[in-house]
Amino acid sequence: MTTVGRILRQATRTLKEHAVSQPLLDASVLLSDILKREVWWLSVNRDHLLTIQEVFDFENLIARRAKGEPVAYLTGHKEFWSRTFAVDSRVLIPRPETELVVETALEILAPARPPSPLILDLGTGSGCIAITLALEIKAATVVASDISLDALRLAAMNAKIHDVYDRIHLIQADWASCFRIPGTKKCPGIPKNYHGFDLIVANPPYISPNERNIMDREVLEFEPELALFSDDEGLEAIRSILKEAPCLLKEGGWLLCEIGWKQGKKVRRLAKETGKYYCCQIKRDYSGNDRLLLLQRGSNG
């Protein structure tokens, strides 16, 4: 029989030997998940005895963590905007900096909030952005697309968990290619009097394949390539979105697109070249890096 304190010590040592950067924290999070307790509970119950099953389950997770598998895939969930989302290797793990998309979307829609805004989330993955917006703006109708059916299955599960399945319309699409204004192709969830979306949000893949060699092994080996990489120095997906979004937005509607920290200047230029937007801003994340492209569809759009 072993105790919380002893097994945590052993696991921390194992993870350290495998160069995991936060061995004690990761071991604690994994053990607390198995025991269905908060992390703090472990430190005040170090003499608590574990069952054989708990020991087996924990040792299995620690072995996988030692090989680099991210904690979120091991526990099967990740926090985003203070809510828990189911995640697995079918989708990108939601990142804290992506909360800037949500924060900015809420700021934009707040002052002149249309009574029931129509929002499109391109490349929804786990659904974390779409579902958060649906929860924060109760009257919103949200359409969420992804090219990956596997990702859409998980997004559907998250929408059910968060009780917004009825208000989120999931669509398999390569960026905006399946939507055309109005009615050239029927899109579930789009109201009859559709004049375009009030807001389009996206966190597209924006890493250049050339950056593989400087990437974190854990990301590279475990997260889906489709969600990470884009050709043309990471700009191909952003370019498609910039080109297609004006056809889908209402006059004065907004596009918020997450970008890579070195892409600010380039995406500003690409947006300008389209001639379809009149307000262009780049927002920085809390680390001070360019992170979000903010555009409003212009009158000549």
Q: Contact positions toward ligand GLN, by CB under 6 A?
A: 92, 94, 98, 123-126, 128-129, 203-205, 227
CB 124, min distance to ligand GLN, A: 5
CB 89, min distance to ligand GLN, A: 12
CB 57, min distance to ligand GLN, A: 27
Nearer to ligand GLN, 58 or 80 (CB): 80
Nearer to ligand GLN, 98 or 141 (CB): 98
DSSP letters for 267-280: HHHHHHHHT-EEEE
Nearer to ligand GLN, 162 or 276 (CB): 162
Contact 1, 55 (CB under 8 A): no
Helix (H, G, I), strand (E, B) or coil at 84: strand
| Alpha-carbon span 4 to 243, nearest angstrom | 55
Nearer to ligand GLN, 123 or 301 (CB): 123
Cα dihedral 156/160/166/172 (nearest 10): 0
Nearest CA among 212, 205, 223 for reference residue 70: 223
| Alpha-carbon span 262 to 101, nearest angstrom | 18
CB 203, min distance to ligand GLN, A: 3
HSE-up of residue 167 (Cα within 13 Å, Cβ side): 21
CB-nearest residue to ligand GLN: 125
CB 125, min distance to ligand GLN, A: 2
Nearer to ligand GLN, 129 or 235 (CB): 129
| Alpha-carbon span 223 to 73, nearest angstrom | 9
